[in-house]
Structure 1
Amino acid sequence: MLRMIATRTATLLLFACRSPTPPDGVTVAQNFNTQRFLGRWHEIARLDHHPESVLEKISATYNLRNEAG
């Protein structure tokens, strides 16, 4: 019984982790310039959702990952 549950759980996780494909009618951007979006970005506006309502001076830093290592 435990083996069956473990097998089904592993199968479910395997399918949950697969690479998503865009929905019908959605096309992936071509010639996207990643260099243009690297660096620090500051939030200038947002919709206040409860967990975020107390946050101030929000920023995010984007950089490229080394996929080889």
Structure 2
Amino acid sequence: MMQTYRTSDGDTLDYIAWKFYETLEGRVVEQLLDANPGIADLGPVLPSGVLVNMPDIAPQQQEQGVRLWS
């Protein structure tokens, strides 16, 4: 079930993403934009009282790196 977040004065989507998901990795802000059509029209700083749909976001998979030295 999708949760919602009610904005306060000065909130931005990246701040909301960080506060709610504790990450900005994995296109979180883009997923918020997709789940909230028209929210970008409100500008970068959202007015107070806007309900933002917070979609379920799959956990990020760690990318495996190459170990050069042991």
Instruction: Please state which band the TM-score falls in when normalised by the shorter chain.
Output: under 0.3
Using the size of structure 1 for normalisation, the TM-score is 0.26
Over alpha carbons, which structure has the higher Rg?
1
Q: TM-score, normalised by structure 2?
A: 0.26
Q: Relative contact order (alpha carbons < 8 A, sep ≥ 6): 1 or 2 greater?
A: 2
